[in-house]
Structures are given as structure tokens and as C-alpha cells.
Amino acid sequence: MACLGLECTKPYTPAAISSPNTYLVVEGNINTGTDSTIIQLSHTTNISSGVTSAPVLNATVAIQDNQNGTYKLTGEGNGAYSTGLITLDPTRTYRINITTSDGKNYVSDYVPATLPPPIDSIGFIIKSNGIQLYVNTQDPNNNTHYYRWDYIETWEFHAKYQSDYVSNGDSIINRPPAQQVYKCWTNDLSNDIELGSSAKLTQDVIYQNPLVFIPSTSEKLEDRYSILLKQYAMTAAGYNYYTLLKQNTEELGSIFDAQPSTLTGNIHCTTNSALQVIGYITAGTVQEKRIYINNGQLPENWAATYPYDCGQDSALYDDPRTKPAGQNTVIPLLTIPNNYVPTEAITQHNAIIGYQYSDRDCADCSLRGATTPPSFWIAGPYN
């Protein structure tokens, strides 16, 4: 308790943020297509704990079908469990069976295997402050109606300054091509829940359903951007669950927004029916499509905001004869700290007398990405 004058304040810790209860969270889709199934297990964490992730390790996870078929998943670390490339009969129904290391057992309801139509196209609309990506799809058989999407973003970006030189421990040498740290690639997984429905339409058509918005100042648009979109067909019950989940996690901000709703998934604890489980297991094939967006397709005046405050300074050889007249504040070359990177040469009379240098954060993109492109990356025009 803190007191100021005649007034006292007592810290208020609501039970909701300090409750010892944790709940199992189950995420994933039983893939009946040509790809593997990945199920992610974690526990909820209290806001007051400061922990943002609590993966469930050493669990036993299996897919079961309604004809007594069982397919065991293997733990991959960090709460992920996956199958290899197996073939599942799309005419059967499926569920997940989970036993955690403390002996608790969880099963999902049997669900049918859905078959989503192919993704027609992924496009984007240029707005004043960024681009809005969207998806088009349709089911000519008028069978799907409920859709869910997730995606993986990959983009090429570069350091603020290009480093043409590197120290070999004794001196500064030209940076070998194999040690380039100017151009890098990185990726990110979708965090939002993307849903679409044609249930109220006369045709099963999804037109320009919004996906991700990318600000014009984002590094994702600096050179080249790619998105791999995955499309799932949903049952009405699954769609309703994800709609409530989206409202509870993404659309709460004022009294005019949708208020929190009780989530009832399709996963239950068989050893203790009072235990709440968060998640909804679906089954079916997954449709995928990838597109690339080049910087040259975007307005010329858009510029990425670099995530660090960057600048350059000068460093010279210790030989006083190389110090140009009037440059009395430069740092001797051999005293440059290890977290600085030489960027370009300073010359005098066609001879190198020193170097510009910058913070490693500003001249070494490998701190935030990989220096080699991913295997699927296709080179293309940037302007």
C-alpha cells in the first residue's frame, strides 16, 4: 500500500490475472491430403506471470478414425506434434486423442473430412498508407460456404548500410561474397483469425475477402514480399467457434465492440470433465497458393522505416600520417568495438586511409534474418 498525504492506494490484483488455473490449448487440422498433420499443444498462462508461451511437452498424441484406425504423432519440440506423409481416407471421420505427461486424457469429437475448392487468386489493393491483401475463391458445387485461412509471410530486406569490408582479426579486408550481410530473408506466421462465409449468398463465392494489411513503411515491402496462403473448409459449428474466438481475441477495444463470449470447442477431458479445453479440431485437405509482390509494383515514394536509429562514423589506421587534416575526432581503427561493422572505405589520393563504420544492428542483416534465400524463393524484378 502506498500513501500520499491523507490518501492511500492499495494495489488491485483481479483474480482473473492471478488465478492458478491453466487450460490446455489445442490447435491444428487433421490433414487428409498429401501434407503432414501438425498439432500444437500449449497451456494458457496468467497475465501476471510474465510468461507468454507454455508449450506442452512429452504428450502422447494420435489421430483416430471411426474405423478403429490409429496414427501416432511424433513430438517435434516446442509443443508441436506431427505425422509423416500419411494417407487418410477422406470418407472417414477423425478425432485427436491426447494424453499429457500428468496422465490427463483429452479427445476431440469425430469430424468429417472437408474438401475446400482451390484458391482462385490472391491480390492486393494499394491504399494511401499501405496495401490490403485479399483472397478470391468459389465452390461451383455450392458445398463449402465456410472458409478459414492462415498464411506464412516471407520477405527480402536489407541492412541500412552495406558493409563491403570485414575484419580478419588483424586488419580490414574486402568482405567475401559468402559473408555478405546486406541482403536477408525472414518470415512470420499469421496471428489473426481470417474467416469468410458465403452462407447468406445465392452462390458459394468469396470475393476480395480481406487478409493482411501491410503499412507502406514496413520492411516487408522494401524489396520483395511473398505470402503462402492456406485455405480450409469449415463446418458451420467450426466456423461459429472461430468467429467467437476472433471476437474474444481481436475485436475487444470499446463498449461498442462485441463482448466476450463463452467458447465451447469440440475437445474434452475424459479424466476430469470439469477441466476446460480451448480449441477446435478440424479435418480435411488444405489448398495452398503463393504470390510475390515486387517493390516496383508499389508507389515510388514509399520508403521502409528502419527499426533502429542508425548512423555512420569514421575510423582511421593508427598511423598518424594517414589522418587527414582537420579530422581530429575520428576513432583509431584498432579501437573500434566488436559490435561495429566497417561499411565503406575512406580514400585519399586513391589510397585507403580509413573506413566508415556503423552499429552491427544497422550493417548486418543476419541478426534478423538468413543470408541465403529459402528454397522456394524465385528471383524477380524489384523495380
Q: Spell out the domain ranges in the chain.
A: 19-116+231-288
The yes-or-no verdict on residue 159 having pLDDT over 50 is yes
Q: Which residues contact 319 (CB under 8 A, 6 or more apart)?
A: none
How far are the Cα atoms of 150, 211, 263 from residue 240, in angstroms, in the given order?
17, 19, 10
8 confidence band (pLDDT: 50, 70, 90): low
pLDDT digits (tens, 9 = 90+) for 189-209: 999 999 999 999 999 999 999
3-class secondary-structure state, position 304: coil
Q: Which residues contact 297 (CB under 8 A, 6 or more apart)?
A: none
Q: What is the DSSP letter of 145?
A: -
**Predicted model pTM:** 0.85
378 confidence band (pLDDT: 50, 70, 90): confident
Contact 24, 43 (CB under 8 A): yes
Contact 137, 118 (CB under 8 A): yes
Q: What is the DSSP letter of 99?
A: E
pLDDT digits (tens, 9 = 90+) for 305-334: 999 999 998 887 655 555 555 554 466 676
Considering only 36-45, 218-227, 245-254, which range has the smallest mean pLDDT?
245-254
Contact 164, 174 (CB under 8 A): yes
128 confidence band (pLDDT: 50, 70, 90): very high
CA distance 152 to 150: 7
Contact 153, 220 (CB under 8 A): yes
Q: Which residues pair with residue 60 across a beta bridge?
A: 99
